[in-house]
Amino acid sequence: MDFRTILYMSILLAQVPGTALAQRQVQLAPLTLPINSLGAAEQRLAELDSLVSAADRAGASLSLNRNQQMAAAGLQTMLATNPDSREAAQAWRDLVSSFGAGGTDINALLQWVLRESYLEMVSDLRDMVEKVKYFNETKKAIRDELQRIDSHPCRPPECQPFQTNASRLWTSFGSAFLTRPEQLAAYRGELVSQESAADREGQAMQINLQNEMHRQTAAYELLNNVTRRMHDAAIAAIQNVR
């Protein structure tokens, strides 16, 4: 399982100064959200956005020299690719050790090096959410238009002028004014076909979104272990420097 999946999970890091971290473990947020709703995914996005904001604040609190900034940037790339790699583990220990005996706020540093991965996860999840919302909104627009057609007054061989909804729907009728029952029937037939296609695409995208949320749940234990190992490695590095 890659870290792109892992980082969907929400992490709440204990805000403890570096010297006190030996007595505290990183605390992870429990998974309480349902996995079968668009609302759950939107709430997860809000949590990820909060993590990005927290990482920004954490980064602002750190005093990194140029070499440390470069090392942190390289570590961000490694973590996003494979958090369990030896290279990432060594880069993390080297970065922590570079602060010397004075140490640093390890929780803030850990948040900061995960920031780019959070941003990438936000982008991926938001793209999926927007696609699901698009198909939901498209289906609603089509159904509203079908309701307009079904309630439109017609007295064959003519109808009251009916303007098609070209602003939201893409059919061969564009923004035409329809005045004959057979025109309305043809327009309705196109809309029914569109609704069926949008429903199929929307269901497929909803399944994809649910699978992503399922993978987040499955990744929770792994994320817990990865975060704890990084925390413990940081404490060991600080103690070795002292």
Residue 177 pairs in a beta bridge with 163
CA distances (Å), 168 to each of 116, 145, 164, 188, 193, in order? 36, 10, 10, 15, 15
Q: pTM for this structure? A: 0.71
Tokens of 138: 């498209």
Q: 8-12, 76-80, 99-103, 180-184 — which one is most confidently predicted on average?
A: 180-184
The answer to whether 223 touches 28, Cβ cutoff 8 Å, is yes
Which of 67-71, 108-112, 222-226, 233-237 is predicted with the least confidence, judged by mean pLDDT? 222-226
The answer to whether 28 touches 11, Cβ cutoff 8 Å, is yes
CA Rg, the chain, in Å? 26
Residue 163 pairs in a beta bridge with 177
d(CA 175, CA 157): 21
- How far does Cα 29 stand from its chain's mean position? 16
92 compared with 82, residue with greater pLDDT:
92
Confidence of residue 125 (pLDDT cuts 50, 70, 90): confident
d(CA 157, CA 97): 85
The string of DSSP codes covering 14-26 is: ----GGGGGG-PP
Matching residue, tokens 């803030």:
108
So what's the pLDDT on residue 99?
86
Burial of 30 (0-12, 13-18, 19+ CB in 10 A): exposed
The answer to whether 132 touches 29, Cβ cutoff 8 Å, is no
* Dihedrals phi, psi of 105, to nearest 5 degrees: -75, 100
pLDDT tens-digit readout, 172-198: 999 999 999 999 999 999 999 999 999
So what's the pLDDT on residue 230?
83
Has residue 229 got a pLDDT over 90?
Answer: no
So what's the pLDDT on residue 32?
41
Average pLDDT score over residue span 87-104? 85
d(CA 63, CA 75): 17
So what's the pLDDT on residue 89?
87
pLDDT tens-digit readout, 7-62: 333 332 333 333 333 333 333 343 343 445 788 889 888 988 998 899 899 999 99
143 compared with 230, residue with greater pLDDT:
143
Has residue 241 got a pLDDT over 50?
Answer: yes
Write out the H or E segment, with its range, that includes residue 162: strand 162-163
pLDDT tens-digit readout, 132-170: 999 999 999 999 999 999 999 998 899 999 999 988 788
Four-residue CA torsion sign, 134, 139, 141, 142:
positive
So what's the pLDDT on residue 3?
37
Alpha-carbon torsion, ordered 118, 119, 123, 128, to 10 deg? 10
Confidence of residue 4 (pLDDT cuts 50, 70, 90): very low
